[in-house]
Amino acid sequence: MRIEYTGTSELSGSLMVVGGVLGVGYDEFAEITLKDGGRRHGRVIAIDGNRAVIQVFEGTRGISLENSRTHFTGEPLKLALSTEILGRVFDGVGRPADGLGEIFPKERRDINGSVINPVSRKYPRECIYTGISAIDATATLIRGQKLPVFSGAGMKHNELAAQMVRQAKIGDGSNFAIVFAAMGVKNDVADFFRKSFEDAGAIGRVVMFLNLASDPIIERIITPRCALTAAEYLAFTHGYHVLVIMTDMSSYCEALREFSSSKGEIPSRKGFPSYMYSDLASIYERAGQIHGMKGSVTQVPILTMPNDDISHPIPDLTGYITEGQIVLSREMELSGIYPPISILSSLSRLMKDGIGEGFTREDHAELSNQLFASYSRVQDARSLASVIGEDELSPTDKKYIEFGRRLENAYIRQDINENRTITQTLDMAWEILSLLPREELDRVGDKMLDKYYKG
């Protein structure tokens, strides 16, 4: 029997309170039918006695105290899943948005997922070559990692993400898939990604979840969870190696803030809710590999740092959860370098176990350490040069300036379609490091210097 509750007792922002309900579960999915036939959807976010507070995804516009009927489905929001989802486009809450009709579900899963037991996790060790030097050598992406791109408004993060998708060898052959989640991005951005997936010949392997800038913000909170449920299904039920691109996490966090303040919660830093860390963790931690299962979920979330500020709560909390970050630099962008990756602030926490002999090349670890150390000396030399002029620098400092210039213009800079092998990348790094005197390279052992140093 279908029980419907007529009317509401209170409306505030996107929240709607239904009174007199019995036996409704926390986090349950609700369907709301309006008098004019309009349908809304929502989720129970609090219960107080016989009152249930519902968060309405599409917003409460047009709802009055009398004109609605609410039905509780008895279960949390679930996503219909089968391998048919490959190649399809869904809206932010997982409804088909490409006009191709409903999919025939093999399974329906709670979008909140379940926590992977730390005992069952397999520590990720296989690297994914992106063909981008600034990533492969010094911030290597590992299969099962969560490696966000920290960008700023107007920088080329979308191009970079698209290039990573085109060039990355995610799976070993045909078993790869891409899940794309758009949160609050403009239509052109979604189109850009769609087009670049087509160019890569991968559109049949892509699942898209689109919550565009004009779509309801409450749906935005659901979007990454739908995308990750789809990714986990493909990875751990069907053995796909899945790359999840989520953009823009900043819009997601702002939606969270908007929603939190509408609930009257006590705000923490910059008005964001105090649970934003655990909320973000419930998204980012859904990456990884599991013992005895073939597939993997690798995440590349993209976020724009408000005012390019890396200590803003959004990049800050993200950085504490993710396994490193790729940081784009406004300065490099302005000097026309693509990809504008700031090597010093970028980091991959998992690379140490996925590189070196047997994985990439014996010299990789020491080489990347040396690149960091030397490049950070370049910054010192530059700030000195800006005071006393480049001509007055000591001969060593001059070499550092030249090294920095070459590193940025030949090594970091690469064409949007240029796909460098790891050997090319490492050799190129050695060639540029060889501009420096040998005794300056204090992070590399003599054995490696003898073999690779060309100065």
Partner 1 sequence: MKKNDTAYYIHGINGPVIDVRGGTGLSMLDMVRVGELRLPGEVVGVSKSGATVQVYEDTSGLRHGQPVYPALAPLSIDLGPGLLGNIFDGIARPLKKIEDTAGVFITRGLDIPALDPEKLWDVTVNIKDGDLVSEGMVFAECPETFAVRHLSLVPPGVSGVAQGVKPSGKYGTSDVIATVKLKNGSDYQLKLSQKWPIRVPRPVRERLPIIRPMITGQRVIDTLFPVGRGGCAAIPGPFGAGKTMVQHQLAKWADADIIVYLGCGERGNEMTQVLEEFSELTDPKNGRPLMERTILIANTSNMPVAAREASIYTGVTIAEYYRDMGYHVALMADSTSRWAEALREISGRLEEMPAEEAFPAYLPSRLAEFYERAGLMKTLSGSEGSITIIGAVSPQGGDFSEPVTQNTKRFTRCFWALDRSLAYARHFPAINWTSSYSEYFIDLAPWYDAELGSDFTAKRQRMINILHEESALQEIVKLIGSDILPDDQKLIIEAARLIKTGFLQQNAFHKTDTYMPLPMQYDMIELILRLFDGAKTLTEKKIPLSLLRDTGIFAELMKMKFDLGEGAGRDRKYFEELIDAAVAKVMSENE
Which position among 2, 37, 48, 173 is part of the footprint of partner 1 (CB under 8 A)? 48
Between CA 241 and CA 257 the distance in angstroms is 33
* Residues 290-309, interacting with partner 1 (CB under 8 A): 290-293
Distances (CA, A) of 200 to 42, 163, 170, 182, 260: 37, 9, 13, 19, 39
Of 30, 149, 190, 350, the residue at the interface with partner 1 (CB under 8 A) is 350
Which one of residues 101, 118, 154, 201 is an interface residue with partner 1 (CB under 8 A)?
118
Q: How many residues contact partner 1, by CB under 8 A? A: 86
* Site for partner 1, residues 155 to 214, rule: CB under 8 A: none
Residue type, 84: E
Among 61, 106, 108, 121, binds partner 1 (CB under 8 A): 121
**339: preceding bond cis by omega (within 30 degrees):** yes
DSSP β-ladder status, 29-34 and 39-48: antiparallel
Query: If you write DSSP's letter for every residue of 208-239 in order, what string do you get?
Result: EEEEETTS-HHHHHHHHHHHHHHHHIIIIIH-
Give the residue with the Cβ less far from partner 1, 189 or 276: 276
CB of residue 97 vs partner 1: minimum separation in angstroms?
A: 26
Q: CB under 8 Å to 200, separation ≥6 — which residues?
A: 165, 166
Stretch of 30-38, 122-130, 247-255, 400-408 lying at the interface with partner 1 (CB under 8 A): 122-130
Spatial CA neighbour of 255 closest among 92, 452, 33, 91: 92
DSSP type of residue 237: I
- Rule CB under 8 A: choose which of 64, 120, 417, 421 binds partner 1: 120
Per-residue x/- marks for partner 1, 359-398, CB under 8 A? ------x---x--xx--xx-----xx--xx---xxx--x-
Q: Does residue 25 bind partner 1 (CB under 8 A)?
A: yes
d(CA 187, CA 251): 14
For residue 347, how many other CB atoms are within 10 A of its CB? 18
Render the burial of 425-442: b for 16+ CB within 10 Å, e for the rest.
bbebbbebbbbbeeebbe
Which of these segments, 21-29, 101-109, 190-198, 414-422, binds partner 1 (CB under 8 A)?
21-29
User: Any idea what DSSP says for residue 240?
Assistant: -
Instruction: Tell me the closest approach of the beta carbon of residue 329 to partner 1, in angstroms.
Output: 12
> Which range, of 155-163, 172-180, 238-246, 344-352, touches partner 1 by CB under 8 A?
344-352
Q: Check residue 417 for interaction with partner 1 (CB under 8 A).
A: no
Interatomic CA distance for residues 345 and 212, integer angstroms? 30
The distance of closest approach from Cβ of residue 292 to partner 1 in the complex, given in angstroms and rounded to an integer, is 8
The neighbouring-strand residues paired with 296 are: 241, 289
Pick from 17, 103, 321, 401 the residue near partner 1 by CB under 8 A: 321
Map the footprint of partner 1 across residues 259-278, applying CB under 8 A: 265-269, 274-275, 277-278
Would you tell me how many other CB atoms lie within 10 Å of the CB of residue 100?
11
Residues 230, 242, 317, 433: which binds partner 1 (CB under 8 A)? 317
Residues 60-99 close enough to bind partner 1 by CB under 8 A: 75-76
